[in-house]
């Protein structure tokens, strides 16, 4: 059953209007009405309440804070990500990598239509969505920063270098990075620290979370152009890391790197065990010394190498090579070993 709500009356007294409705109530674009959370707290605390609320909308640190303060113990927050590999069995993973996971970009009738949608999304996000979230940063400045960040995709965060290039302070670019992170456009993958004598990298790595937006910012309209671009390997790394994190959904994830050159693309904890993930854009990935160093220094229970090939195989007793098409099986693979 659908119920039509009088919007002016709803805005003036949401408790009165919503209090008479039973069942599932869906409220969209909640970022435009953050004060609504106070009314929802009253409604969900009613004795024998018969309504449940599904609240949708763009999020920011401020919105999450309002939710935590107003609805503590009453709410579950679910992050809705773009399409991932398990959800796109109708098409090859290469299209998902090239176009990204936003539905209208992925499902567009042509690469040109996909690029046009992503360009419009970026413009709308900067000019409309960020101001609606209470973020007052000029869209042209944020566009330059986001584009520059795309060229640093997969690299260790260096605020001073970016600040000099943009002519602003370190504090400003740090704040801009946090804005894009809180809006789920950027991932800051934090470093893992062991009590080792080796000097370790302590700054996060930065990734544009959706590969399609990364390619739009880098002006890479299709897969053919991507294959000849210097950021090919970094794009592949970020794409695979996002897919692995979608599938495993770990509470926390890290990378590991030392100043001597040893590194690990992704470190996850699962059922009390440590697993390493390496990402290689190669049809025949090699076992490197860096992998052995990571295995020994971090005490890994196993290491998986994700590559674009088609055949899974065991490279060594504790190192397996996994095609990206097999990513949905990674949880059961790790649990079988556990």
Q: Could you say which of 15, 38, 70 is where a domain stops?
A: 70
Query: Do 99 and 44 share a structural domain?
Result: no
3-state helix, strand, coil in the chain (%, to 5): 45, 15, 35
Query: Do 175 and 298 share a structural domain?
Result: yes
Does residue 80 sit within a domain?
A: no
Q: Could you say which of 38, 70, 102 is where a domain stops?
A: 70
With CA atoms as reference, report the closest residue to 288 among 310, 263, 259, 313.
263
Query: Do 268 and 189 share a structural domain?
Result: yes
Query: Do 285 and 197 share a structural domain?
Result: yes
Query: Do 287 and 203 share a structural domain?
Result: yes
How far is 169 from 173, CA to CA, in rounded Å?
7
How far is 25 from 28, CA to CA, in rounded Å?
10
Give residue 236's domain range.
85-337
Does residue 282 sit within a domain?
A: yes
Q: ∠330-80-188 over CA atoms, to 5°?
A: 70
- Domains in the chain: how many in total? 2
Instruction: Encode the chain (338 residues) as per-residue pLDDT tens digits.
Output: 444 444 444 555 666 667 667 778 787 776 667 677 777 777 777 777 777 777 776 665 556 666 655 666 666 677 778 999 988 876 689 999 999 999 999 999 999 999 999 999 999 999 988 887 778 889 999 999 999 999 999 999 999 999 999 999 999 999 999 999 988 999 999 999 876 666 778 899 999 999 999 999 999 999 999 999 999 999 999 999 999 999 998 988 999 998 888 899 999 999 889 999 999 999 999 999 999 999 999 999 999 999 999 999 999 889 999 999 999 888 888 887 65
Query: Do 279 and 217 share a structural domain?
Result: yes
Query: Do 65 and 89 share a structural domain?
Result: no
The residues near 264 (Cβ < 8 Å, ≥ 6 apart) are 255, 256, 257, 276, 277, 278, 290, 291, 294, 298
């Amino acid at each position: 059953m659908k119920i039509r709500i009088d919007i002016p009356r709803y805005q003036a007294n949401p408790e009165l209007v919503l209090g008479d409705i039973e069942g599932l109530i869906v409220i969209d674009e909640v970022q435009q009405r953050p004060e609504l959370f106070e009314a929802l707290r009253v409604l969900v605390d009613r004795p024998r309440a018969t309504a449940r609320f599904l609240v949708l909308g763009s999020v920011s640190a401020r919105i999450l804070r309002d939710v935590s303060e107003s609805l503590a113990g009453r709410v579950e927050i679910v992050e809705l990500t773009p399409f991932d590999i398990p959800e796109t069995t109708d098409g090859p993973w290469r299209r998902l990598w090239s176009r990204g996971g936003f539905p209208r970009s992925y499902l567009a009738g042509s690469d040109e239509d996909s690029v046009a949608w992503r360009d419009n999304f970026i413009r709308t996000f900067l000019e409309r969505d960020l101001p609606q979230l209470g973020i007052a940063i000029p869209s042209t400045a944020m566009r330059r920063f986001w584009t520059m960040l795309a060229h640093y995709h997969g690299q260790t965060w260096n605020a001073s270098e970016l600040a000099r290039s943009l002519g602003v302070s370190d504090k400003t670019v740090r704040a801009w990075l946090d804005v894009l992170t809180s809006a789920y456009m950027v991932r800051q993958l934090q470093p893992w620290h062991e009590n080792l004598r080796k000097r370790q990298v302590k700054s996060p790595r930065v990734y544009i979370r959706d590969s399609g937006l990364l390619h739009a910012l880098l002006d890479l309209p299709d897969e053919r152009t991507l294959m000849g671009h210097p950021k090919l390997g970094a794009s592949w790394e970020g794409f695979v890391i996002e897919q692995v994190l979608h599938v495993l959904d770990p509470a926390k994830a890290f990378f590991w790197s030392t100043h001597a050159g040893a590194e690990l693309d992704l470190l996850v904890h699962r059922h009390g065990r440590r697993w390493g993930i390496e990402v290689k854009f190669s049809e025949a990935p090699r076992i490197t010394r860096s992998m052995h160093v990571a295995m020994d220094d971090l005490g890994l229970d196993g290491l998986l190498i994700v590559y674009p090939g088609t055949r899974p195989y065991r490279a060594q007793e504790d190192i397996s090579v996994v095609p990206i098409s097999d990513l949905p099986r990674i949880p059961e693979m790790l649990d079988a070993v556990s």
